[in-house]
Each structure stands twice: as structure tokens, then as C-alpha cells.
Chains A and B, each alone.
Chain A
Amino acid sequence: MTPISQVSGKAYPFGRKNVDTDVIIPAHWLKTVTRDGLGKGCLESVKKEPGNVFTDPAFAGAPILIAGDNFGCGSSREHAAWALLDMGVTCVIAPSFSDIFSGNAFKNGILTVALPQDAIDRLLEVAKTDPISIDLEHQTVTTPFQDRFLFEIDPFRKHCLLNGLDEVGLTLAQDATISAYEARTGETMPFLAHPTRHTA
């Protein structure tokens, strides 16, 4: 996974509340076989609204999305995180997130930043014309106008994101422990450790 320490650039000033996973990626995109290409389906219905920020060339390729309360509610589909990532979004700022979504986002290396509504309102205003910066190390969101907002993040998640560690990578770091277990059970439980096809 790509480590994240700073995210700077344009931000989609979206601001909508209760954006659910069906809106982030509609169900008809789920029969796909790759994570790539889901960006096209990302926020598909919103992109059809006149004047939306996602098809506005001024924000093309923005790495940041600013949304309203309860972002990512609905189903547990991991496709929601994949779709955002495929669209180029690596950081979502909102007053709150659904638990499952923030977990899925984290697993896929997306930083979710929760800030109070007044801070969100200010960022939505700035983002219309200017870039925004997120500094994960110092847990700050700043603007070119001296705005500086502090945010909270779980220390374990911060560590993983800063170092580009995904859960698989973290567990792989325990390879020796897993190998020791396998060596042990290869002796004590060979019937579980080594399935062999005896008959056809």
C-alpha cells in the first residue's frame, strides 16, 4: 500500500450528508472482477446532476473529498473504497463516517479525517478556489489562509497509513511466528497441516 504522510491539492467541495455506499458505487458495478475501473461508476448518479463538482474541470483529479455527516453508510461493500481510490481520492474529510466504511477505507489506504461541522464549512468554502493540505504526522488540515484544524486518529491506524502497512503486510511481518506454528502442528496435527488427495 502507498504510504500517506501528506495529501495536498484540490478538494471536491461536495458537502452532502448521508452519502451511502449505493451512491458511492451502485450495485450494478459489483459483478466486476477488478478494483480498477470502478472510478467510472463512483458517484455515478451525482455525476449526472447539473453543476456537480465531480465533472467540473476545475476539480479534475482532486485527491481530497469533503463531505457531510455519516459518509459511507449502508452496506459493507468494499467496492466503495476501491471506487474512490480508483477515482484518485486518497483522503475524505467529513464530520463523521460509518464505521464499516472507515474500516474499509483504512484497509485500502484511504485517510478519513473527521472534523467539526464549522471546520467543514470553512474548508468547503476554501476548496472552491484554493488547495487544501493534510499532514498526517502532525494531524492537521491547513489552507493557504492560515486556517489550521487538528484532527484525531487511532494511533495504530496512523502508524499503518504513515508506513504504508496494510493488514496483510503487518501479518506477513510475523512470518516467523506463523512458520513456527506450522512446524509445530505439522507434527501434532499432520492430518490438518497436510491435506493429501488419496483417491480420485
Chain B
Amino acid sequence: MTKQPRTLYQKIWDAHVVDTRDDGTCLIYIDRHIVHEVTSPQAFEALRVSGRKVRRPDLHIAVPDHNVPTTARRDANGKRIPIADPQSAQQLDMLERNAPEFGIRYIGDADREQGIVHVIGPEQGFSLPGATIVCGDSHTACNGGLGALAFGIGTSEVEHVMATQTLLLKQSKTFQVNVEGTLGAGVSPKDVILHIIGVIGTAGGTGYVIEYTGNVFREMSIEGRLTVCNMSIEGGARAGLVAPDETTFAYVKGRPYAPVGADWDKAVAWWQSLASDPGATYDKSVHIRAEDIQPTVTWGTSPEDTAPIGGVVPAPEDFADASKRDAVKHSLDYMGLTPGTRLTDIAVENVFIGSCTNSRIEDIRAAAAILKGRKKAPGVKWAIVVPGSGLVKEQAEAEGLDKIIIEAGLEWREPGCSACLAMNPDKVPSGERCASTSNRNFTGRQGPGARTHLVSPAMAAAAAVTGHLTDVRTLSENS
């Protein structure tokens, strides 16, 4: 029997089918679940009320990230500093009690391995290629950078996974996003994904799982692939992945939870078989030339509102679709922008470098390379760099990056989600702008009335030193 060529997604799916129903719905096994403090309390409560257990506690890790302040967690004597906001403190307390009660490893807020859910999964080697990975946060797709099938779930599903280690799912269609060619200098993975979302739109991937293919992704570091897959959801797709390869194996090897010995060899052999077969077909495809991608920024309140940094703020009339024209009018109003304004003329008062999209070591390095020997512009009131995890923080400090950042006049913080969603005290004041490396520029996302411009870490650093959106290619790296 000749086998039908299959895609990466299809292969991972097939390996995880526990049961198939008549209507095509499948019971899919979930290999890893990462739990945070916001979407889990009610799920734990439901388990307790119904007298149910967590079926496989060893497949879960719990860590607080959404609510934690990014200021010092311990005082001079090493004592943990309590969290001021009572509701945030309560959500943390609940997780700290729930996780051990159900046998789940808990990484505390003052633990050196604490960090953002989607940063610590890959960093710990807990997230693995070919695995099914879920978390109660929509940017779980981030883990797809390792070649895992990863997606966000709601509270009921969190409970379902805890109790049964499975989810009832229907197969998605597949969407190939192919980028070939050579990326120009100063063009980062963040620019690649912002450009892609600009091309496909925020609904482009709805109902699909994206596979990113082409030499650009094959040549990209894992950190970069994680950045790209992270924002699959902004392109409408619940998940996005890059086929695992030698770069992936080198990244995973030696991490705390990475397989060892014979298990490692077995794993690599399977991972090598996961790449889409030649002749495998996708339900749709888009092809993008790497040379067309410039350092990219957003000007509106939808992640698809992107433009190359050399461009101008568009006018509503530039759009053919009537409802989009309306949305653009609204966006520009909220953003306080006039059509025709050069993007590089937009002044920013705030800079946020962090979030699960861009808070890994490469991101901190990219920002530091621009900040080195420069100073924060006087117009920039608040500029923070928030590492994605305690381990990223240690690594950055070992490389002296924290000193460069502090010398440039930016703040070097403790890990967490921070100003990505402003659930903790890190907020952008109403009416002010922020050059942000996060993933969502929605109305009010970084605080009520906050105006977000999504950018890469290097571009955020460039904005910090010039005081306005800046083409990073006009600044040299001071090494």
C-alpha cells in the first residue's frame, strides 16, 4: 500500500488520535499542559467539586506570569516580597495551593526558573517537537516553533485536559505560508510575522493551522521561529508550526526535561520523520519573497494594520472594503494619527521590550546591540525591558546586557507578562504611545487609552534612543 503524503500537522495529529467519533471528531491526547494563575482557578475548583483528579500530573507545569509585578520579588535578605494588589495576590495564592494539591510541579513567582508560560515551556525542554501542547492563553501557538502542535484553550478545556489528558477536536485545514529568499539587514523574525499578518489579514488563518515553510524559516534560530509561531493567532490561526530540524534538536538537547540516552535517539528519529512529505498538499498556500519584507510597524488597532517603517499612515480611503474603511477611521482616531504622517515622525513616550513574543535571549541581545553606547531620548518617559524568564535574565546578566540596558537609561525588570496585557501594575498611560515588542495592539490592551505600535526588539530599542519610531537600519550597532 502506498502511503498518502502527509503534512507535518497531519502526522502529529495522527500520532495523537485516541479515538474517532462517527462525525469525524477525534479524542486527541495532550502531551503537555502549562498552567498559569488566571485561567486555572475555576478549573481546579471544578475538579475539587466533582471529586476528580488530575490524570497525569507529570504532564503539567504551573507558573504564575500574567499578574506578577516586574519589580523585585525578594528583599535584600532574600525574603519574598508580598504582592500588593489583593486580587493578583489571591490568584497567585490559589495557584500555589492548587498545583501541589493536584500533584503538579509549581514554579513560584520568586523562583529563578519562573517566567512567561510560553517562554519556559521550550526553555525547560518541557515543550518538545511533535508534542501536543495546550495552555489557557491564546499565544500557546508559540511552541509551534519547535515543531509542536500547540494552541490556547478556555477554562472548560483546561479542566477537561486536567481530568482526561485529552481534548475533543475536529481536524483543521492546513495553510502553508512560504517565505523564500534573503532577509535584508535589520529585518528580524518579528518583522517577518508582522509582514505575514499584513498580507494574510487577521482572519486569513481562521479555521486553519499554519505551517511556515521556506528557507527563511529553515535558516532561522529557534528563538526566531518561536516569535513567528507566537503570532499565528493574530493571523487568525489557532496554531502555527515549523518542521523540526537539526537546529531544533540542537536547541532541545541538554535542557532540563529533554530526553536523554536511548530515549533521545528514539525521539530524534521520530522528529526527523515529521517534516511534511514531498507532494503533501495544503488547503491553501501563500508565497512571500523575503526581499519584500522591511522592518515593519503597526499604525492601527489591529495586528494587520502594518506598514514598512519607511511608509506613511494610510487614509481610510486607501482601503477598498467599506467595513475596513470604517475600522481604519476608528483606529486612527483612537491612535491619534493623521493620514500621510511619516511613520518615522511618530513620537513615542513609552517603550516595552518583553512578552512571550520577544523576551528570549536573542531579543534582549538585539535590543542591547542598539542601546549600547546610546541614551534614552528625553521624550521617552518610561522604557522597560522585561526578560521572559529568570533563566533569560541570568543569561543576559552573564553577558552584561543588563548593564548596557541600564546605562542607556532603560529599566531592567523581573520576568512576567507585564505591559503585554497590563494586568499587573505595568501600564501605558491613556493617550500615550508605546513602541512595544508584544503581540496585540488592541484598543486598551496596554492600559485604558494606551496607543500601541508593535515592533521588533531592535526597533523598540531604536525608538527608545531617538524618541520616535525609527528605521533601525539608520542606526549602527555599536559593538
Contact = CB atoms under 8 A, between A and B. Distances in A.
Contact of B270 (A78, A104, A189, A198): A189
B42 A33 contact: yes
Interface in B148-188: 154-156, 159-160, 163-166, 168
Bin the interface of chain B by size.
35 or more
A12 B456 CA distance: 53
Interface in A3-39: 31-35
Interface in A141-157: none
B128 interface: yes
Interface string B459-470: 000000000000
Given A191-B266, A196-B257, A178 B164 contact: yes
B19 A195 contact: no
Nearest to A1: B50
Contact of B164 (A34, A35, A168, A193): A168
Q: How large is the interface on A (under 10, 10 to 19, 20 to 34, 35 or more residues)?
A: 20 to 34
Given A191-B259, A198-B256, A200-B256, A177 B27 contact: yes
Interface stretch (B87-95, B228-236, B316-324): B87-95
B58 interface: yes
Contacts of A31: 87, 91
Interface string B240-273: 0000000000000011111110011011001000
Given A78-B154, A178-B165, A195 B126 contact: yes
Contact of A33 (B31, B56, B94): B94
Contacts of A104: 156
B18 A181 contact: yes
Given A168-B163, A171-B27, A198-B257, A34 B45 contact: yes
Contacts of B87: 31
Contacts of B128: 191-192
A197 interface: yes
B307 to A, nearest CB: 30
Contact of A167 (B59, B90, B94, B156): B156
A144 B427 CA distance: 57
A82 B87 CA distance: 19
Interface in B199-222: none
Interface string A91-125: 00000000000001001000000000000000000
B159 A168 contact: yes
B453 to A, nearest CB: 25
A178 B90 contact: no
A191 B264 contact: yes
A191 B252 CA distance: 12
A163 to B, nearest CB: 15
Contacts of B41: 32-34
A60 interface: no
B412 interface: no
Contacts of B32: 195
Contacts of A35: 42, 45-46
Given A191-B259, A192-B31, A198-B260, A82 B164 contact: no
Interface of B: 15, 18-19, 27, 29, 31-32, 41-42, 45-46, 50, 52, 55-56, 58-59, 87, 90-91, 94, 126, 128, 130-131, 154-156, 159-160, 163-166, 168, 254-260, 263-264, 266-267, 270
Closest 4 CB pairs of A and B: A33-B41, A191-B259, A191-B267, A171-B164
27 contacts: A1-B50, A33-B91, A33-B94, A78-B154, A107-B156, A167-B160, A167-B168, A168-B46, A168-B50, A171-B160, A171-B168, A172-B164, A174-B27, A177-B27, A178-B29, A181-B29, A189-B270, A190-B259, A191-B259, A191-B263, A192-B131, A193-B31, A196-B257, A197-B256, A197-B257, A198-B258, A198-B260
Interface of A: 1, 31-35, 76, 78, 82, 104, 107, 167-169, 171-172, 174, 177-178, 181-182, 185, 189-200
